[in-house]
Protein backbone atom coordinates (compact mmCIF):
# COMPACT_ATOMS: atom_id res chain seq x y z
CA UNK A 1 0.00 0.00 0.00
CA UNK A 2 1.39 3.41 -0.97
CA UNK A 3 1.09 5.84 1.93
CA UNK A 4 1.20 9.61 1.87
CA UNK A 5 3.34 11.80 4.12
CA UNK A 6 1.43 14.51 5.93
CA UNK A 7 1.57 18.11 4.67
CA UNK A 8 2.69 17.00 1.19
CA UNK A 9 0.62 18.21 -1.74
CA UNK A 10 1.12 15.54 -4.39
CA UNK A 11 0.84 16.46 -8.05
CA UNK A 12 2.19 15.16 -11.33
CA UNK A 13 3.21 16.94 -14.51
CA UNK A 14 3.43 14.85 -17.66
CA UNK A 15 6.00 16.76 -19.69
CA UNK A 16 6.98 16.17 -23.30
CA UNK A 17 10.72 16.72 -23.76
CA UNK A 18 10.59 17.04 -27.55
CA UNK A 19 12.64 15.10 -30.10
CA UNK A 20 16.09 15.44 -28.51
CA UNK A 21 17.52 18.93 -28.83
CA UNK A 22 17.18 20.36 -25.29
CA UNK A 23 16.44 23.81 -26.71
CA UNK A 24 13.19 22.47 -28.18
CA UNK A 25 11.61 22.13 -24.73
CA UNK A 26 8.70 24.53 -24.29
CA UNK A 27 8.92 27.49 -21.92
CA UNK A 28 6.09 25.97 -19.89
CA UNK A 29 8.16 22.80 -19.65
CA UNK A 30 11.13 24.74 -18.27
CA UNK A 31 8.89 26.30 -15.61
CA UNK A 32 7.57 22.87 -14.62
CA UNK A 33 11.09 21.48 -14.19
CA UNK A 34 12.09 24.51 -12.13
CA UNK A 35 9.25 23.69 -9.75
CA UNK A 36 9.96 19.94 -9.54
CA UNK A 37 10.60 18.02 -6.34
CA UNK A 38 11.23 14.84 -8.31
CA UNK A 39 12.01 14.22 -12.01
CA UNK A 40 11.41 10.78 -13.51
CA UNK A 41 13.02 10.74 -16.95
CA UNK A 42 13.18 8.36 -19.90
CA UNK A 43 15.97 7.04 -22.11
CA UNK A 44 14.96 9.24 -25.01
CA UNK A 45 15.17 12.51 -23.08
CA UNK A 46 18.26 14.68 -23.13
CA UNK A 47 19.84 14.74 -19.67
CA UNK A 48 20.76 18.41 -20.20
CA UNK A 49 17.11 19.14 -19.41
CA UNK A 50 17.70 18.07 -15.80
CA UNK A 51 19.74 21.25 -15.32
CA UNK A 52 16.45 23.18 -15.25
CA UNK A 53 15.39 21.31 -12.10
CA UNK A 54 16.47 22.48 -8.63
CA UNK A 55 19.80 21.02 -7.46
CA UNK A 56 18.11 19.30 -4.52
CA UNK A 57 15.37 17.75 -6.68
CA UNK A 58 15.49 13.97 -6.92
CA UNK A 59 16.30 12.77 -10.44
CA UNK A 60 15.46 9.17 -11.27
CA UNK A 61 16.24 7.44 -14.57
CA UNK A 62 13.41 5.10 -15.51
CA UNK A 63 14.44 4.66 -19.13
CA UNK A 64 12.88 2.12 -21.39
CA UNK A 65 14.88 1.55 -24.53
CA UNK A 66 14.54 -1.41 -26.85
CA UNK A 67 16.50 -4.33 -25.39
CA UNK A 68 17.16 -2.42 -22.16
CA UNK A 69 13.90 -2.37 -20.19
CA UNK A 70 15.15 -1.08 -16.86
CA UNK A 71 11.66 -0.46 -15.49
CA UNK A 72 8.29 -1.93 -16.42
CA UNK A 73 5.43 0.48 -17.04
CA UNK A 74 3.73 -0.75 -13.87
CA UNK A 75 6.86 -0.06 -11.84
CA UNK A 76 7.12 3.46 -13.31
CA UNK A 77 3.46 4.13 -12.46
CA UNK A 78 3.99 3.11 -8.85
CA UNK A 79 7.25 5.06 -8.52
CA UNK A 80 5.50 8.17 -9.83
CA UNK A 81 2.75 7.86 -7.21
CA UNK A 82 5.12 6.97 -4.39
CA UNK A 83 7.31 10.00 -5.07
CA UNK A 84 4.30 12.31 -5.44
CA UNK A 85 2.82 11.21 -2.10
CA UNK A 86 6.16 11.50 -0.29
CA UNK A 87 7.80 14.50 -1.95
CA UNK A 88 5.16 16.57 -3.76
CA UNK A 89 5.57 17.66 -7.38
CA UNK A 90 6.72 14.89 -9.71
CA UNK A 91 7.65 15.84 -13.26
CA UNK A 92 7.37 12.81 -15.50
CA UNK A 93 9.73 13.76 -18.34
CA UNK A 94 9.03 11.81 -21.51
CA UNK A 95 10.63 11.94 -24.94
CA UNK A 96 8.68 13.63 -27.73
CA UNK A 97 5.06 14.16 -26.72
CA UNK A 98 3.59 12.14 -23.84
CA UNK A 99 0.55 11.08 -25.85
CA UNK A 100 2.30 9.99 -29.07
CA UNK A 101 3.33 6.39 -28.34
CA UNK A 102 4.49 7.60 -24.94
CA UNK A 103 1.92 5.73 -22.81
CA UNK A 104 1.20 9.06 -21.17
CA UNK A 105 -2.50 8.38 -20.71
CA UNK A 106 -1.74 5.21 -18.75
CA UNK A 107 0.29 7.28 -16.28
CA UNK A 108 -2.36 9.99 -16.12
CA UNK A 109 -5.04 7.37 -15.46
CA UNK A 110 -2.97 5.70 -12.73
CA UNK A 111 -2.39 9.02 -10.96
CA UNK A 112 -6.11 9.78 -11.18
CA UNK A 113 -6.87 6.49 -9.40
CA UNK A 114 -5.04 7.98 -6.40
CA UNK A 115 -6.83 11.32 -6.81
CA UNK A 116 -3.52 13.00 -7.66
CA UNK A 117 -3.94 16.01 -9.98
CA UNK A 118 -2.09 15.78 -13.28
CA UNK A 119 -1.04 18.58 -15.62
CA UNK A 120 -0.12 17.71 -19.21
CA UNK A 121 2.47 19.82 -21.03
CA UNK A 122 2.78 18.76 -24.69
CA UNK A 123 6.14 18.28 -26.34
CA UNK A 124 7.18 18.57 -29.97
CA UNK A 125 6.59 15.12 -31.39
CA UNK A 126 9.50 13.74 -33.42
CA UNK A 127 6.91 12.58 -35.96
CA UNK A 128 6.37 16.18 -37.07
CA UNK A 129 9.37 18.06 -35.68
CA UNK A 130 12.15 15.86 -37.08
CA UNK A 131 10.92 15.85 -40.72
CA UNK A 132 10.40 19.61 -40.45
CA UNK A 133 13.95 20.17 -39.21
CA UNK A 134 15.11 18.32 -42.33
CA UNK A 135 12.99 20.64 -44.51
CA UNK A 136 10.60 17.78 -45.23
CA UNK A 137 7.01 18.94 -44.66
CA UNK A 138 4.60 16.18 -43.66
CA UNK A 139 1.93 17.93 -45.75
CA UNK A 140 2.38 20.02 -48.88
CA UNK A 141 -0.14 21.33 -51.39
CA UNK A 142 -0.29 19.07 -54.42
CA UNK A 143 1.81 16.31 -52.83
CA UNK A 144 0.24 15.26 -49.55
CA UNK A 145 -3.06 16.22 -47.98
CA UNK A 146 -2.56 14.22 -44.78
CA UNK A 147 -0.04 12.19 -42.82
CA UNK A 148 -0.05 8.97 -40.86
CA UNK A 149 2.02 8.47 -37.70
CA UNK A 150 2.43 4.77 -36.99
CA UNK A 151 4.46 2.66 -34.61
CA UNK A 152 6.76 0.24 -36.40
CA UNK A 153 6.27 -2.50 -33.83
CA UNK A 154 3.11 -3.19 -31.83
CA UNK A 155 3.00 -4.60 -28.30
CA UNK A 156 2.95 -8.14 -29.68
CA UNK A 157 6.14 -7.48 -31.68
CA UNK A 158 4.43 -7.56 -35.06
CA UNK A 159 4.15 -4.89 -37.72
CA UNK A 160 1.08 -2.69 -37.33
CA UNK A 161 -1.77 -3.53 -39.70
CA UNK A 162 -2.11 0.21 -40.28
CA UNK A 163 1.13 0.19 -42.29
CA UNK A 164 -0.52 -2.00 -44.94
CA UNK A 165 -3.33 0.54 -45.29
CA UNK A 166 -1.00 3.54 -45.16
CA UNK A 167 1.19 2.13 -47.93
CA UNK A 168 -1.81 2.22 -50.28
CA UNK A 169 -2.68 5.83 -49.44
CA UNK A 170 -1.24 9.03 -50.92
CA UNK A 171 -0.52 10.36 -47.44
CA UNK A 172 2.91 10.91 -45.93
CA UNK A 173 3.72 7.98 -43.66
CA UNK A 174 5.94 8.57 -40.62
CA UNK A 175 6.93 5.44 -38.72
CA UNK A 176 8.41 5.57 -35.23
CA UNK A 177 10.39 2.70 -33.69
CA UNK A 178 10.45 0.91 -37.03
CA UNK A 179 14.12 0.63 -37.99
CA UNK A 180 14.40 -3.06 -37.09
CA UNK A 181 11.39 -3.77 -39.28
CA UNK A 182 12.57 -1.61 -42.21
CA UNK A 183 13.04 -4.52 -44.63
CA UNK A 184 9.53 -5.82 -43.94
CA UNK A 185 8.04 -2.33 -44.16
CA UNK A 186 9.75 -1.74 -47.50
CA UNK A 187 8.26 -4.96 -48.87
CA UNK A 188 4.79 -3.72 -47.89
CA UNK A 189 5.34 -0.50 -49.85
CA UNK A 190 6.72 -2.44 -52.83
CA UNK A 191 3.64 -4.68 -52.82
CA UNK A 192 1.52 -1.52 -52.99
CA UNK A 193 3.40 -0.44 -56.13
CA UNK A 194 5.50 2.17 -54.34
CA UNK A 195 9.06 1.04 -55.19
CA UNK A 196 9.98 4.50 -56.52
CA UNK A 197 8.36 6.42 -53.66
CA UNK A 198 10.81 8.80 -51.95
CA UNK A 199 11.87 7.67 -48.48
CA UNK A 200 14.04 9.00 -45.67
CA UNK A 201 15.47 7.70 -42.41
CA UNK A 202 16.65 10.07 -39.68
CA UNK A 203 18.77 8.87 -36.76
CA UNK A 204 18.92 10.98 -33.58
CA UNK A 205 16.73 13.65 -35.14
CA UNK A 206 17.35 17.24 -33.91
CA UNK A 207 20.53 16.27 -32.03
CA UNK A 208 24.12 17.17 -32.89
CA UNK A 209 24.90 13.61 -33.99
CA UNK A 210 21.85 13.22 -36.24
CA UNK A 211 22.22 11.31 -39.50
CA UNK A 212 19.98 11.47 -42.54
CA UNK A 213 19.55 8.98 -45.37
CA UNK A 214 17.38 9.80 -48.38
CA UNK A 215 16.54 7.44 -51.21
CA UNK A 216 13.57 5.58 -52.65
CA UNK A 217 11.68 2.63 -51.23
CA UNK A 218 13.61 0.40 -53.64
CA UNK A 219 17.03 1.44 -52.33
CA UNK A 220 16.50 2.69 -48.78
CA UNK A 221 17.48 -0.57 -47.01
CA UNK A 222 20.83 -0.71 -48.77
CA UNK A 223 21.46 2.96 -48.07
CA UNK A 224 20.64 2.58 -44.37
CA UNK A 225 23.03 -0.36 -44.14
CA UNK A 226 25.74 1.53 -46.01
CA UNK A 227 25.46 4.55 -43.70
CA UNK A 228 25.28 2.32 -40.58
CA UNK A 229 22.08 3.95 -39.32
CA UNK A 230 21.07 2.83 -35.83
CA UNK A 231 18.13 3.33 -33.49
CA UNK A 232 16.57 5.61 -32.46
CA UNK A 233 15.55 6.43 -36.01
CA UNK A 234 12.43 7.72 -37.73
CA UNK A 235 11.18 6.57 -41.13
CA UNK A 236 9.44 8.85 -43.63
CA UNK A 237 7.70 7.60 -46.77
CA UNK A 238 6.03 9.97 -49.19
CA UNK A 239 6.31 12.32 -52.14
CA UNK A 240 7.16 15.14 -49.71
CA UNK A 241 10.61 13.60 -49.21
CA UNK A 242 11.36 14.67 -52.79
CA UNK A 243 11.31 18.27 -51.56
CA UNK A 244 14.52 17.73 -49.61
CA UNK A 245 17.35 19.65 -51.32
CA UNK A 246 19.48 16.53 -51.86
CA UNK A 247 16.80 14.29 -53.36
CA UNK A 248 17.33 15.23 -57.03
CA UNK A 249 21.07 14.55 -56.76
CA UNK A 250 20.41 11.13 -55.23
CA UNK A 251 18.02 10.13 -58.01
CA UNK A 252 20.53 11.29 -60.63
CA UNK A 253 23.23 9.16 -59.01
CA UNK A 254 21.05 6.04 -59.22
CA UNK A 255 20.15 6.84 -62.82
CA UNK A 256 23.86 7.09 -63.69
CA UNK A 257 24.67 3.80 -61.93
CA UNK A 258 21.85 1.91 -63.65
Which residues are tagged catalytic? 42, 64, 177
Q: How far is CA 99 from CA 83, 96, 102, 108, in A?
A: 22, 9, 5, 10
- DSSP 8-state code for residue 227: T
Contacts of 65 (CB under 8 A, 6+ apart): 43, 44
Angle 10-13-15 from CA coordinates, rounded to 5°? 160
Farthest-apart Cα atoms in the chain, separation: 74
Beta bridge partners of 49: none
Q: How far is CA 185 from CA 25, 130, 177, 192, 235, in A?
A: 31, 20, 12, 11, 10
Amino acid sequence: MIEQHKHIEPRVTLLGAGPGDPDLLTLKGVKALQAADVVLYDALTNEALLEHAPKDAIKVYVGKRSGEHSHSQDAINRLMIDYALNYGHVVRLKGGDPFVFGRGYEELDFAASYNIPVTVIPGISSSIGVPGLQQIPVTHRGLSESFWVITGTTTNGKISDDIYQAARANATVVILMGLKKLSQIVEIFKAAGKSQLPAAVVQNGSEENEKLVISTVQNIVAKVSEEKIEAPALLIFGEVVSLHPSFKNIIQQYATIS
